[in-house]
Structure 1
Amino acid sequence: MEPFLKPYNYYFLKKQAAILAQTHRTVNAKSTIQAVQAQIFDKVKATLSELSEEEMTLVMGITEINDEQRILDRYLQRMKERVIPFKRPSDTGIKKAFPKTKKLTIPDWERLDLADYSFYAWNDPGQQSKFILYTVNNKLQGIQGQLSTEIKKGICTICHGESSVALFTVKGKANKDGHYKTKGNYICYNSDECNQKMQTFEHFMDFVTIVKEK
């Protein structure tokens, strides 16, 4: 079977599987366990409704999870093997995604497991910037913005998880008076952690729409 899960699908399943395992470990009432199971099974089916019957059968192996760590680990390993990794871009593609940036640090792709990433981003402290790469319809896109050095606890616009966030601002087009409009969002300072908290790609695309709105 070919890979069919996006990285954010995997992290969604990982979270649901962890909830189920923890319920088995901490709850004695069988009726409560069954209720949690039913909620999780319905949520998985609704979230991944576009899967084929064969793919859904594999995903619903989550029903096997109990209080044993080895069962949880085995399920997550099977799911990880079905993840479609973030497509490694060429150096030329990256430079085209950030055409206005003269000094661009190219990520060391060899050290990364791209199955962990729904998007890829890195911080450049020297430029006080964050560079974000993502694909839409197999086309590589890029967003560059200023990243504040002030980090605080908050909710990330991209993953909607509680995290250490920093203000990310993007300069828009100049108005008639020659002033530039800036758009700011609080996002995870550490984008690796942000990817691991993503449960859907919808919030990321909402963020892109806001940032790129003219």
Structure 2
Amino acid sequence: MCKPFIRNHQYNVIKKQAGIMQNALRTIADPKVLESVRFGTESKIVEMFPDVTDVRKQMLEEISTLKTTEDFQKYLREFEPYLLEFPQVTAKQIQQLFPKNKKLKIPDLSAIDNRYLTYLSWSDISTNKMFLVYQLNGQFIGVEGKYTPTNKKGFCFLCNRHEELSFFSAISKKRPANSSPDYYKAVGNYLCLDSHECNKNITDIASLEKFIDTVIR
């Protein structure tokens, strides 16, 4: 039985390193340089899983032996049974995360493949609001904010890829001592307009968790 151990963003790292290795095989003739690339890609993958068993480590290290497109495709497919799914969240749980939104429009959760999800996000065009759900320390966190499409490409602060962006701005729950009743602080950044693409590209959760922490604390 395959026990999952790879989160979506980690699988994206594996895919990215596989792409780097494939490109090196097509463009680099120097054996020493190729060997260096092989070592680098293998190291970046293995270092994400310091506590894996020897069997799983050997599976990850196989990237340094791959040569053909078919080899790389097979390598990536072999990890699919080991993907950790984004925790199941129900429509009722989502509604509880956003209690002030009585008419909250929730996406079709049954149509989402949770294996390839680091965070759940959707937009309500009628209100220009974006909603984000993430599990932090075993608890679901909901972040709501205004979004404004930029109608241009740039680098997303979550996945660091060049994609169509929107500006997402949420109100921080943190209030300074003795602040006035009217005080509020908006926390904003540019992220992918299409969260599906962002989830396909994200390789590090540090920026996501930092943003959420800034908003909720």
The 8 Å contact of residues 160 and 203 in structure 1, kept in 2 or not, is answered as no
Question: Which range is displaced more, 116-125 or 158-167?
Answer: 158-167
Identify which of 199, 205, 208 aligns with 2:209: 205
Aligned mates of 1:203, 1:2 — CA distance in 2: 28
Counterpart residue type for residue 141 of structure 1: I
For residue 187 of structure 2, what is the aligned residue in structure 1? 183
The 8 Å contact of residues 149 and 193 in structure 2, kept in 1 or not, is answered as no
5+ residue gaps in structure 1? none
For residue 197 of structure 2, what is the aligned residue in structure 1? 193
Counterpart residue type for residue 159 of structure 2: C
Q: CA RMSD in A?
A: 1.7
State the SS of the aligned residue for 2:171.
strand
For residue 71 of structure 2, what is the aligned residue in structure 1? 71
Question: Which range is displaced more, 40-49 or 112-121?
Answer: 40-49
Deviation at residue 38 of structure 1 after TM alignment = 1.1
Deviation at residue 87 of structure 1 after TM alignment = 1.8
The 8 Å contact of residues 172 and 214 in structure 2, kept in 1 or not, is answered as no
Deviations 1:34-53 (A, max 9, x none): 11111112222223223232
Query: In 2 relative to 1, CA 119–167 (structure 1 residues): closer, same or farther, beyond 3 Å?
Result: same
Counterpart residue type for residue 24 of structure 1: L
TM-score, normalisation: structure 1: 0.91
Is residue 2:40 matched to residue 1:36? no
Question: Which range is displaced more, 142-151 or 4-13?
Answer: 142-151
5+ residue gaps in structure 2? none
Is residue 2:100 matched to residue 1:100? yes
For residue 3 of structure 1, what is the aligned residue in structure 2? 4
Deviation at residue 57 of structure 1 after TM alignment = 1.8
The 8 Å contact of residues 128 and 149 in structure 1, kept in 2 or not, is answered as no
The 8 Å contact of residues 7 and 116 in structure 1, kept in 2 or not, is answered as yes
Deviation at residue 92 of structure 1 after TM alignment = 1.2
Aligned mates of 2:48, 2:14 — CA distance in 1: 10
Counterpart residue type for residue 206 of structure 1: K
Deviation at residue 182 of structure 1 after TM alignment = 1.4
State the SS of the aligned residue for 2:20.
helix
State the SS of the aligned residue for 1:151.
strand
Question: What is the identity percentage for the equivalent residue pairs of Structure 1 and Structure 2?
Answer: 25
The residue correspondences of 1:1-214 to structure 2 (distance < 5 A) are 1-66=2-67, 68-172=68-172, 175-176=179-180, 178-213=182-217
Aligned mates of 1:140, 1:186 — CA distance in 2: 23
Deviations 1:28-83 (A, max 9, x none): 221111111111122222232232323222222212321x2111111111112210
State the SS of the aligned residue for 1:50.
coil
Aligned mates of 2:193, 2:51 — CA distance in 1: 32
The 8 Å contact of residues 17 and 65 in structure 1, kept in 2 or not, is answered as no
The 8 Å contact of residues 97 and 141 in structure 1, kept in 2 or not, is answered as yes
Question: Which range is displaced more, 152-161 or 142-151?
Answer: 152-161
State the SS of the aligned residue for 1:81.
helix
The 8 Å contact of residues 41 and 64 in structure 2, kept in 1 or not, is answered as no
Deviating beyond 6 angstroms after TM superposition, the runs of 4 or more aligned structure 1 residues are: none
Aligned mates of 1:34, 1:63 — CA distance in 2: 8
Q: How many residues align?
A: 212
Deviation at residue 177 of structure 1 after TM alignment = 5.7
TM-score, normalisation: structure 2: 0.90
State the SS of the aligned residue for 2:131.
strand
